[in-house]
Structure 1
Amino acid sequence: MRRSRVIDEEAALDFIRDGMTISIGGHLNSAHPMLLIRGIIRRGLKDLTIITSAQGGPEIGFLIAAGCVKKLITSGVHAEGMAGIDPCFRFALQRGDIEIWEADEGIVYAMLRAAAQGLPFLPWHGGVGTSIPEVNPFLKEFDDPISGKPLLAVPAIAPDLAILHAATSDMYGNVQHVHGWGDRAHYRAAKETIVQVEKVISNEDVRRDPSKTSIIGADAIVRAPFGAHPMASPEYYLEDQPFIKTYVSCANAAYKKDDMSELTAFIDEYFVQPQDHFEYLEKIGVSRLFSLHEF
């Protein structure tokens, strides 16, 4: 018999342990799994390898600021529209605080596809003729045996866990995204997947239009209204620009002045002190949350 895969926040966080490789979904102006990101920071998890397919957003900067990240596999990290390069990401690289697996977006997707297909690597033409293979020794150039043209061999890296945010799911883990095309690559490559959703819907609603189903049978579902805040959740709410601007200001000040107190206080107030998602939402406030809502 089918079983419900809906679990609470703490049970979902029990999936995550120090030293794991975590694949994080979401992209610019789209949904990021912030409920789970805050839980990782609150629990003080360390030595994580983080994968983002498209450029990561401020959630990566939050994790770096909290000291959770050991290695990052990404094409870059922004702060939504508030900064082209996330300041915590930039300064951590400049100071050598984290290891970077250099790639462009296509290379990361090739890596995830190789893992999903159970292959040791996949060939990719992007990055040939650039310095990426020079700074990333795990990318190997070779000649295509058919055409003789140069290609890159991109190794498979299978995440231990993918964490995603989507619009809806039924209780059996059949997930429906809005603009979540990239998240499917994380799901296919990962050994297990947790999806936090704005609302849980009936299986009858899923079956009514199965073409909307983007992920079939996620391992765990967490009900998380406003769970992507301060980032956007398409067709639900917009990004909280003042929140992200405050973070960017604190991060820039911390590294430029070599004084982490303001940034540490920001992370503590919003990521450590709230003991669960609903305490966090209470801190943000109903008026502020609904001012972001896409009515």
Structure 2
Amino acid sequence: MSGVRASKVIDVADVAAQVEDGMTVAVGGFINSGHPMAVVRQLIKDGRRDLTIVGAASAGLETDLLIAAGVASHVITPYIGAEGFAGIGPAFRKAAQDGSIDVFELDEAHFYAGLRASAQRVPYNPWRAGLGTDLPVINPRLKQYRDPINGELLIAVPAIDIDVCLLHAAVSDIYGNVQHNGTRYGDIAMYNAADKTFVSVEKIVSPEQIRADPLRTSIPGATGVIRAPFGSHPYSADGYYVPDAAHIQGYLAAATTWLKSDDRSELDAYLDEYIVGPADHADYLERVGIRTLLSLNEF
């Protein structure tokens, strides 16, 4: 029947199928919180390669994991780490030191300037930050130029154009109207810069619940939404659960062994157990264990 709105609920495998080798993919969240891990794991399981990963302004180990699994060949983010767990992602450090990934060196101001340029559909964003530093030397893609209006020296930050944006949030209705809990600024900037945006959520709720508080809607009409309880595990989801410290430390130990000794056996065992082995997101959660999941209380 004409005029009927179509549901935008989609499963993890179909979202991952939207990502092709060589694409630029943004992965939302912030350090140890709010990452779309169900989709991240599927990209690794599907064997994606040569992706440019746009991490958050402060990216977490989700980006490190994509590097460790050989999915990412280029990285655009000011930082990859894990706050109290690790100052810097071990796989990121190893790949950067070995020269096996291309790192787009920039600070947080440049990062948001590049996303803003893409959102505005212009080739670059003029910015003052970084003048007088070595940033334009280290990263020649940051171009110094004279402003044609007043002759002022500025930096042209190239647009960060995103093919597919992957986010995790609290809730959405079936029509892709998404509402975050907590921090969402970076996710919104990525969404505005992307051609397509898919959001995994802890719950699908009624359109009436979304309409009851429309100012909370952060993504008004995602390309698709994924029903994924515990979809950010082992990282936190504001209002639902805290990071799984033991799981994160297990990954870090395996990746750090690779960094220090070039021995991938522990890392590959982690990938086999939690990414390659599980048939789907539900199978992954079963491997983590219901007691572990229920223990991740915020209060």
The alignment's TM-score, normalised by the length of structure 2, stands at: 0.96
Following superposition, the deviation at residue 133 of structure 1 comes to 0.7
> Does 1:275 pair with 2:245?
no
Equivalent residue, structure 1, for 2:101: 98
> Does 1:129 pair with 2:132?
yes
Equivalent residue, structure 2, for 1:243: 247
Helix, strand or coil at the partner of 1:151: strand
The alignment's TM-score, normalised by the length of structure 1, stands at: 0.97
User: Which among 1, 14, 28 is matched to residue 25 of structure 1?
Assistant: 28
> Does 1:75 pair with 2:72?
no
Segment of structure 1 superposing worse, 130-139 or 145-154: 145-154
User: How far apart are the structure 2 equivalents of 1:276 and 1:80?
Assistant: 29
User: Which among 138, 146, 152 is matched to residue 155 of structure 2?
Assistant: 152
The runs of at least 4 consecutive aligned structure 1 residues that moved more than 6 Å come to none
Helix, strand or coil at the partner of 1:182: helix
> Does 1:254 pair with 2:258?
yes
Which whole-Å deviations, capped at 9, do the CAs of 1:72-113 have from their partners, x for residues lacking one? 111020024210100100111000110111111111111111
User: How far apart are the structure 1 equivalents of 2:83 and 2:281?
Assistant: 22
Which whole-Å deviations, capped at 9, do the CAs of 1:170-206 have from their partners, x for residues lacking one? 0000000112121001111000000000000111111
Q: Which runs of 5+ in 1 are unaligned?
A: none
Amino acid at match of 1:167: A
> Does 1:231 pair with 2:224?
no
Equivalent residue, structure 1, for 2:17: 14
Following superposition, the deviation at residue 38 of structure 1 comes to 0.3
User: Which among 211, 221, 224 is matched to residue 220 of structure 1?
Assistant: 224
User: How far apart are the structure 1 equivalents of 2:31 and 2:97?
Assistant: 24
Amino acid at match of 1:231: Y
User: How far apart are the structure 1 equivalents of 2:235 and 2:151?
Assistant: 45
Q: Is the 8 A contact 2:63 2:80 kept in 1?
A: yes
User: How far apart are the structure 2 equivalents of 1:39 and 1:114?
Assistant: 30
Helix, strand or coil at the partner of 1:160: strand
User: How far apart are the structure 2 equivalents of 1:28 and 1:240?
Assistant: 13
Which whole-Å deviations, capped at 9, do the CAs of 1:26-85 have from their partners, x for residues lacking one? 113320010000000111110000012312111111111111111011102002421010
Q: Which runs of 5+ in 2 are unaligned?
A: none
User: How far apart are the structure 2 equivalents of 1:29 and 1:254?
Assistant: 21
User: How far apart are the structure 1 equivalents of 2:279 and 2:6?
Assistant: 28
User: How far apart are the structure 2 equivalents of 1:156 and 1:81?
Assistant: 32
Q: Is the 8 A contact 1:6 1:172 kept in 2?
A: yes
Which whole-Å deviations, capped at 9, do the CAs of 1:9-32 have from their partners, x for residues lacking one? 111111111111001111133200
Amino acid at match of 2:68: A
> Does 1:292 pair with 2:296?
yes
Following superposition, the deviation at residue 150 of structure 1 comes to 2.5
User: How far apart are the structure 2 equivalents of 1:130 and 1:243?
Assistant: 39
Q: Is the 8 A contact 2:8 2:224 kept in 1?
A: yes
Query: How many pairs align?
Result: 295
User: How far apart are the structure 2 equivalents of 1:184 and 1:23?
Assistant: 11
Amino acid at match of 2:287: K
